[in-house]
Each structure stands twice: as C-alpha cells, then as structure tokens.
Amino acid sequence: MTPPKNRGGAPGRGPKRADAGRGSRPDVARGSRPDAGRGSRSDQRTQRAPGTGTTRPSQPTQTKREPQRPVIDVHDPDGVRLQKLLAAAGVGSRRVCEDLITQGRVEVDGQTVRELGVRIKATQVVHVDGERVQLDESRVYLAFNKPLNVVTSMSDDLGRVDIGDYFGDRKERLFHVGRLDADTEGLLLLTNDGDLAHRLQHPRYGVLKTYLAQIQGPVPRDLGRRLREGVELDDGPVKVDSFRVVDSQPGKAIVEVILHEGRKHIVRRMLAEVGHPVLSLVRTQVGPIRLADTKVGKFRSLSSAEVAALYKAAGL
C-alpha cells in the first residue's frame, strides 16, 4: 500500500509547523520583514544618527589637508636673539616680544618660531601677526613733498634742480618710487629697498596713487562714469579706480583721481582727453602713505607701522 504524501515536509517527517525550529518568531506580523529590528546589511551601512548629514561611506569624510611646507632651520648662531630685534624695531618691549614668540605669532622666513633662544640675522624676513616687520636698520624709507619745477632724478644732465639736490649728501643709495613730472608736486617715496620700490611702482601689484587736480569746469555729471569705464589714449586705454569732485567754482573745479597706472603724464593726458585740461596737479597719497602735513621741499622718515603697511600693499 502506498504511504500518504508528506505535504510541506521532508519524506518521512511530519508536516512542518510555521513556528517549528529554533529561533522562530510567532509574534512577527504577517507581511513584516523578519529582520526589521536589526536591519539588513545594506540598511546597516546606510543607517546614521540624526544630524550626521548625507555623506555616504564611499565619500571622503575629511577635507584634504594642505601640503605641509618644508621645515627650514631659521636659526643662525651668529645672529641676534629674535625678541631683541623685534623690540629694537618698535614691536614692543622685550617681554611683549617674548610673549608674541611663545604664542606662535611670529614667522621667520615663512616658519613659525616659538622658541625664545632662536637667533636670526636682521636681513631675514619676519612677520608678526601676518604683517612684515623690517628689522634691518640700514633700510631707509622716506616721504618727500616734491616742489614744482624739480626733476625726479638723482642727477640731471641739463643742470636743472632735481631730487638729488635734496638727498645727494646721504650715504645710502636711494631709489625714488615712480616719478612726478616737473610741473607736478606732492608725495614721492624714496628708499634703498629695491624689491619694495619695484613692487610699489609696478601696475601688476595694483598699488593706488591719489591725485588732486585743478581742471577747467564745469564738470559734467557723467565725467566720473566715463573715466571709470576708460578712455582711449595713444598708448592704450586707461581708466581710473576712483573719481570724485572735491570742490567746484565758476570755470574750474578740484577733483580727486585715484588710479594704479604709472605711465608718463597719465593723469594730465587722461583728463585732457575728456575735455578738462589740468591746471595744477598734486599727488597726495601712495598706497597707505599720505602726504599729510609734510611741507613742500621737506621729507620725513616713515614709521614702522607705515613701512609694514607698504609691505602689505606690495604683497611682501
């Protein structure tokens, strides 16, 4: 006689109960996932605590680190202690300079220095809180109020009065930063720091020069817009960085012109091109340095703060 078929089970065994076997879950509702409490492997990989963002495990979770600069030994056993040079440069008292060093606020040749025993040469590049400090006492930085009819040259072959007549007896070899026409007066910087002088006068570094010009009036309302948009000259286009009317009188006006161009007669040629020839011209500012109350034909030494501001303007 043929035995009855064992439905739902292996041959020779009884019918398989739904809850049979170890680990059965009789309380699991119909249609629910058996692993809903634990989550599947794919679910576990994507689960995250609230507020952790949406970054997937395959994505980088940290920003790329900047490549570290090579460590340079700035110590010079034949040099002077760093805090002593900083104090001599007017940064602060010796104790204040020591605190700046230990706090990591001083860099020498691009390296942060924290040790008080470091000795350096005054010719090395030092920054405090990101600002350049000139430690070399042989460097000279002067602001000169050039008079009218003085040629911007240390020596003139035609025998005209030049700035060498004012500074020719100094032992340093001075460079004038840019030029001023003989019929233009005002601020002229002089220094024996060749790198700084080059950057201050090169248009690439965008150091601004400010002029006060007396021109023929009246001044039309759109003159500033025309100059900011640019005008075409024989040697190429030019535009001002800023323009404003300072004073206006019948037939003439005083205007302020700010630009970083340094071409010859640039302010006079530009204003003449737009129909307002210059009657007189004074340069009042170069970068952060102002003419202030320096009298005509006189000069003054720049303060350490002014020198630091010049370095910053020149990107040094």
The residues assigned a catalytic role are 181
Cβ(162)–Cβ(150) under 8 Å? Answer: yes
Q: Six-digit token pair at 105?
A: 């606020």
Cα–Cα dist 149/146, whole Å:
9
**Omega of the bond prior to 218 within 30 degrees of 0, cis?**
yes
Angle at which helices 194-201 and 304-313 cross, to 10°: 50
Question: Phi, psi at residue 18, to the nearest 5°?
Answer: -65, -30
Length of the chain: 316
Cα–Cα dist 146/176, whole Å:
11
Residue with tokens 């699991």: 28
Residue type, 315: G
Cβ(263)–Cβ(238) under 8 Å? Answer: yes
Contacts of 237 (CB under 8 A, 6+ apart): 230, 231
Q: Six-digit token pair at 5?
A: 């078929």
For 139, the 3-state DSSP assignment is coil
Give the number of other Cβ atoms within 10 Å of residue 134's Cβ. 20
What are the Cα distances from residue 14, in Å, to 1, 11, 17, 21?
19, 8, 9, 13
DSSP-derived pairing of the beta strands 126-128 and 131-133: antiparallel
DSSP state of 187: E
